[in-house]
Amino acid sequence: MKLRSTVVLNRLLAKLRIRHLQVLVRLAELGHVGRAAQSLGITQPGATLLLADLERLVEAPLFMRHARGVSPTPLAMELLPLVRQVLARLEDSATLVASRLEYDQRLVRAAATAAGADGLLADSLPAFSKAHPQIEVVVTNADRAELAATVEREAIDVVFCRQPALVPVGWRFSGCLDDRFAVVCGTRHPLARAPGTPDPAQLGQSEWLPNMLGSIARERFEDLCREHGWTPRIRPVTTRVTALTWTMLDADDLLTLVPLSVVNPWVRRGLLHVVPTPWQLPMEPLGMLLPETPLAPAVDTLVQHVGHYHRPGAATPARASAADYPR
């Protein structure tokens, strides 16, 4: 007789315990009932009973028993990613509840795109954490193309990002920092030591590290190639990992086109160099996606700090804006 999904769901809702899920994951990780039980702080018979109970609920074996321990069945392997997600969500919920109770709403759950992290948080967050040690800031990665999904799917208080074409419903964008594209190289590149602004021909004869296909930076670079008739040498490496890009630039005589805000922290530390150019390539500003509902005190404190830090003319040390670098 075919087991209907609704029957399984109702059975799990009625009888499933968190310990069942923990035993499933630990057995798959450790491959031994005794070690799994010890890691969970329960007895081996207790772990065996929980496994048998879970297998009765799904009416299928989840582990194959053998002399050296246990191995997950194909069904268990398919269930494991889902079970791990459930446990991770529970851990997140526990962290949230504990933080809310213990710190009196002193937790800020932030998401940041690569541009938001490098352009806004890399400079302002260290000063914030030092000035407000009582506020816990948890920052997760966000994809600019999926901002709406991020704020809908996750419990997020603020998103640091570039201004999106469409702002998610129930949210608003607050701009913090103007931005533009910049040509960047390592500090040992010949153009880093050359005086003045190189002419377009010099740039076109250089070797370039390309941006990802479909990115705005790649489109602007291709526009420059068409406008100036360049046929540049291209290093066949593309990546979204900024640290890898900076390492490539530092290791060889390469140029790349990137948002100035993203490279600013590295330039100010003397690790990379912005090449002056005869053109201007502005882009959307960086800022914060904020819910239209009132902000919690800790969230408002962080938002005010980041906004003030990047406000034009703000007296913050070792800062630079797009206007501070030659074009």
Residues 266, 204 share a domain: yes
Q: What is the CATH number of the domain that holds 113?
A: 3.40.190.10
Same domain, residue pair 254 and 315: no
What integer pLDDT is reported at residue 318 of this predicted model?
40
Last residue of a domain, one of 46, 73, 100: 100
The CATH number given to whatever domain includes residue 17 is 1.10.10.10
Q: Do 153 and 68 belong to one domain?
A: no
| Partner residues linked to 137 by β-bridges | 108
Contacts of residue 42, Cβ cutoff 8 Å, sequence gap at least 6 = 19, 50
The CA distances from residue 59 to 3, 71, 233, 250, 293, in Å, are: 9, 18, 62, 58, 47
At 322 the pLDDT is 44
Residue 193 to residue 253: CA distance in whole angstroms: 12
Same domain? For 37 and 115 the reply is no
Give pLDDT, residue 258.
Answer: 93
Q: Residue 102: its pLDDT value, please? A: 60
Specify if 327 maps to a domain: no
**What is the SS3 assignment for 185?**
strand
- pLDDT tens per residue, the chain (327 residues)? 455 778 878 888 888 899 999 999 999 999 999 999 999 999 999 999 999 999 998 889 999 998 889 999 999 999 999 999 999 999 888 887 776 666 556 889 999 998 899 899 998 999 999 999 989 999 998 887 788 888 877 689 999 999 998 898 999 999 999 999 999 999 999 999 898 899 999 999 999 999 998 888 999 999 999 999 999 999 999 988 888 999 999 999 999 999 998 888 889 889 999 999 988 889 999 999 999 999 988 999 999 999 999 876 554 444 444 444 454
- CA angle, residues 87, 148, 143, in degrees to nearest 5: 75
Specify whether 166 is located in the same domain as 230.
no
**Domain membership of residue 301 as a residue range:** 103-177+284-321
Do 203 and 267 sit in the same domain of this protein? yes
> Does residue 289 share a domain with residue 157?
yes
Domain count, the chain: 3
Confirm if 128 and 302 have CB atoms less than 8 A apart: yes
pTM of this prediction? 0.62
| 278 and 288 housed in the same domain | no
